[in-house]
Amino acid sequence: MHADTKKYNQALAPTERAICELLAAQIERGLPEAHNKVWHAHPVWFLEENPVVGYSKLKSCVRLLFWSGQSFDAPGLAKEGSFKAAEARFTAVDQVDTKLLERWLAQARDVQWDYKNLVKRKGKLERLK
């Protein structure tokens, strides 16, 4: 895990820190080949330079975001934005279903839309996998 992600987590209040540390550990375990960095002020994991999963502290919760999550067949994610992203929100660490998270992470590897070239393609999103 990138040092900036650890710094991000350490700056949070205890409840949010516990959620983010659990999410980071599960993401690292589920996507060991992914590259992690703080991107646009939030921890994000990339596969071949394509963002696949990240989280952020919102005012009332921690949001876990999967860039291609609307294309997953596992339940539990809500549509986010106008592209293919989907999210789950947590206010307590015991709300994180690690078995379901494991399924989402596997799908993040297997189902990807090409976000890294979105600007080059003038906002047109294409499926990679």
Q: Per residue in 106-124, pLDDT tens?
A: 999 998 867 776 666 666 6
Q: For residues 36 and 54, give the distance between their C-alpha atoms in angstroms, rounded to a whole number.
A: 9
- Is the distance from CB of 78 to CB of 69 less than 8 angstroms? no
- Is the distance from CB of 59 to CB of 44 less than 8 angstroms? no
Q: Give tens-digit pLDDT for 68-78.
A: 999 999 899 99
Q: Which CATH number fits domain 3-110: 2.40.50.140, 3.90.1150.200, 3.40.50.150, 3.60.21.10?
A: 3.90.1150.200
Q: What angle do CA 39, 78, 119 make, to 5 degrees?
A: 40
- For the chain, 129 residues long, give each residue's pLDDT as a single digit of tens: 789 999 999 999 999 999 999 999 999 999 999 999 999 999 999 999 999 999 999 999 999 999 999 999 989 999 998 788 999 999 999 999 999 999 999 999 998 867 776 666 666 667 666
The residue extents of the domains of the chain are: 3-110
Q: For residues 51 and 36, give the distance between their C-alpha atoms in angstroms, rounded to a whole number.
A: 9
